[in-house]
Structure formats: structure tokens, C-alpha cells
Amino acid sequence: MAVNFEYNGVTYKNAIELTRAMPLLTSVMVGYYDGAEVLLANAGALCYDTVQVAHDPETLQPNKIGKRITTHCRDSHHNTVIEHGAATFVKKVPIFVARQDLRARHASFDERSLRYCRATDGSLTYFIPHYYSDRFIQSADEKGLSHYADELRLQRDEWIEDHERAIQRYSRYTDDELNGMWDALGLNPERVRETQRSRLPVGINTVYMDTRNLWSWIHHSEKRLCLRAQDEIRRLRRQEVNQLAKVFPTVFGDVNMPCYMAGGCPEAKKCGLIQLDETGKWALPYLKRKNSTK
Ligand SMILES: Cc1cc2nc3c(=O)[nH]c(=O)nc-3n(C[C@H](O)[C@H](O)[C@H](O)COP(=O)(O)OP(=O)(O)OC[C@H]3O[C@@H](n4cnc5c(N)ncnc54)[C@H](O)[C@@H]3O)c2cc1C
């Protein structure tokens, strides 16, 4: 397993320091099964006595047998072959994103506990929607929608006030200085801290480590890369797929939205944005529209 606590070119001494440096809505690969793709190719080859498969990365070159077996198994949903590899990410996301992330069940998680950790160190940050950014509000002004721009400024102030107040009160009532009071009242300060968490809004950050086998990462990625998924979790998934493709190019090189992978939309309710060309591989109208709005 290769382990690396690096973000933006800086290597941190452990996962905690890494998460402190990560901005909200970030997922960083901190571990992966080095050489897993060779193992996957050999797992597939074992099924068919394909003795031509090699034990080195050469077998994963274009048109080589190891690459063909691996992608055949992946695309035929011979999932167990793909399960022999694994990767671990550390994430810092709002709680409402984490709740969606944790729904995909084939994973091992460890999450920062607010029973044991303190908020007073500034580690609790919170999500602010893009439509409250200066840039967005300014663009509303420029479009002659000053009335709505003013409304957005007001809403943003309230948003910040709500979150800051929740964090401040949560910090105050979970402070060690109050331990004497809770003790005197016959209450366990740890239990009090647990219940005080309910003061915090779901836009507050949480941090956790998420390990999955490669099949599970593919399944999870495809589901949440779908344009019907919430933007915030889709952005997270995109970051993860990009990092997975760097270390596992055979398996993840072309992992994308489910309609690309299945050659058509598997959802009953369509996004209405994607129309695949006759090869089933390219969503031309969507790509054109996306590029024209850059
Ligand atoms: C766009 C989008 C919108 C969503 N909206 C909602 C929503 O409004 N409300 C909501 O509650 N959820 C929602 N979800 C979550 C969704 O319903 C699934 O719970 C989530 O995507 C996990 O899917 P999964 O079960 O296939 O994945 P995993 O949990 O990773 O499981 C992978 C596969 O393993 C198998 N498996 C796992 N556990 C079992 C089991 N116990 N029994 C049998 N087979 C099993 C199944 O084949 C499953 O497909 C949404 C998901 C998406 C992508």
C-alpha cells in the first residue's frame, strides 16, 4: 500500500494536519494498493488459464492481454476481479454531502468525533453556496438585477450569522470550563458534548477516511457523477475519479457519468442535458453547451 499525506505539493506529517490544510469540499487520496492493476489482470487471467499474462506493468500496455482482460472483466461486471485493488481518501465536506457519500455501503469509514474533539480550535468551518459569493452577486448587479443582488447580500449575512452563532454557542457549551457544572449536576460532560452537536447546522464540515475496493469506487463514482446528483457531491466524485485515474489508468481512465459507461441513460428520470452520439460515447450537445458557458 502506498501512503502519502500530500495536498497541493505539500506533504503533511499525518492525516490530521492534512485535513486542517484542506479546504471544504476536498477529497485527497492518501493511500492506494500499489501494483493493483497487475494483480487484477492476473486474477482475471487465473479464471481462464491465460498464461500469456505477465507479472509486470508491461501487460497493461494498449492491446496487451492484461489490459484486455482487466477492461473485459470490468465492463462485463465480473466485479470480483476489480475488487482485488483498493484506495483510501481523506475528505473534508459539509455534513449534508457526507450523508450522501456514506450511502454507498461497500466501504470502511472513520470520522472525526465531536465527542472527543474540540471546536474552539477553528476547525469547524461551513459551506456557503456559490450564489452568495461576491462574484455571483456582482454579476446579478451587472445584469441590472440590483434588487435581487441586495436580497442575496441580506441572505448571505443571515447565513453567516446563523452558522457563526451555532459554532460559537456549541463551543461555549462544550468547553472544558463547564465540566465542573455538568459533574455537579450528575451529568457526564462527554454525553453533554454529544447532545450539543445538535446545535450545528448540516452545512458544517466533517472529516473522515474512506477506503473502498476499486469496484466500489467505480460504482460510487458512476452514481454520483450523474448530472442528477447534487453538484457538491458530483464535484467531490470528479476529484476522486481524477486521482484514481492517475494511479489506476486501466481501470479508471474512462470512468465517467453512468450514461457514458452504459451507452445510454439508466435513470428513469433523465437530466435532459445529455444526448449521446451514435457511438454512445460522446454527449455532444452537453459538451458544446458546457464549453460555450466557460
Ligand atoms: C442522483 C441520486 C439521488 C439520490 N436520492 C436519494 C434520495 O432522495 N433519498 C435516499 O434515501 N437516497 C437517495 N440516493 C441514494 C441511493 O438510493 C442509493 O442508496 C445510493 O446511491 C447507494 O447505491 P447502491 O445501493 O447501489 O450502492 P452501494 O451501497 O455501494 O451498494 C452497491 C451494490 O451492492 C449491492 N448491495 C449492497 N447492499 C445490499 C443489500 N443490503 N442487499 C442487496 N444488495 C446489496 C447492490 O447491488 C448495490 O447496488 C440517491 C442517489 C443518487 C445517485
What are 189-238's pLDDT values in tens digits? 989 988 999 999 999 999 999 999 999 999 999 889 988 899 999 999 99
Q: What is the pLDDT of residues 177-197, one digit of tens each?
A: 999 999 999 999 989 988 999
| Distance from the Cα of residue 70 to its chain's centroid | 25
Q: Which of 77, 82, 105, 267 should be mutated for ligand 1, with most atoms under 8 A from CB?
A: 105
Could you identify the atom of ligand 1 that is nearest to the CA of residue 216? 30
In the block, residue with C-alpha cell 441572505? 155
Rounded to 10°, the helix 189-196/146-173 angle is 170
Find the range with the poorest average confidence among 18-27, 167-176, 247-256, 266-275. Answer: 266-275
pLDDT at site 140: 97
User: How far, in Å, CA of 279 to CA of 284, rounded?
Assistant: 11
State yes or no: pLDDT of 289 exceeds 70. Answer: no
- C-alpha to C-alpha distance for 167 and 238, rounded to whole angstroms: 30
Q: Is the CB of 105 under 6 A from ligand 1?
A: yes
Closest CA to ligand 1's atom 49: 219
Give the residue from 216, 210, 119 showing the smallest Cα distance to 171.
119
Between 159-163, 239-243, 268-272, 280-284, the lowest mean confidence (pLDDT) is in 280-284
Is a pLDDT exceeding 70 seen at residue 277?
no
Q: Is 77 in the pocket of ligand 1 (CB under 6 A)?
A: no
Which residue minimizes the CA distance to atom 15 of ligand 1?
103
pLDDT over 90 at 145, yes or no: yes
The reply to whether ligand 1 has any atom less than 6 angstroms from the CB of 234 is: no
24 falls in which pLDDT band (50, 70, 90)?
A: very high
Enter the C-alpha cell of residue 210.
Answer: 474512506
Confidence at 284, pLDDT banded by 50, 70, 90: low
* pLDDT tens per residue, range 73-124: 999 999 999 999 999 999 999 999 999 999 999 999 999 987 777 776 778 8
Answer for the pair 80, 25: CB distance below 8 angstroms, yes or no: no
- Number of residues that this document lists for the chain: 294
Residue nearest to atom 17 of ligand 1 (CA): 103
| pLDDT-based confidence at residue 249 (cuts at 50, 70, 90) | very high
Pick the residue whose CA is nearest to atom 8 on ligand 1: 100
Counting ligand 1 atoms within 8 A of each CB, the residue from 99, 222, 223, 259 with the most, and so the one to mutate, is: 223
Atom of ligand 1 nearest to the CA of 106: 30
Q: What is the mean pLDDT of the chain?
A: 90
With cell 451514435, the residue in question is 278
Burial of 171 (0-12, 13-18, 19+ CB in 10 A): middle
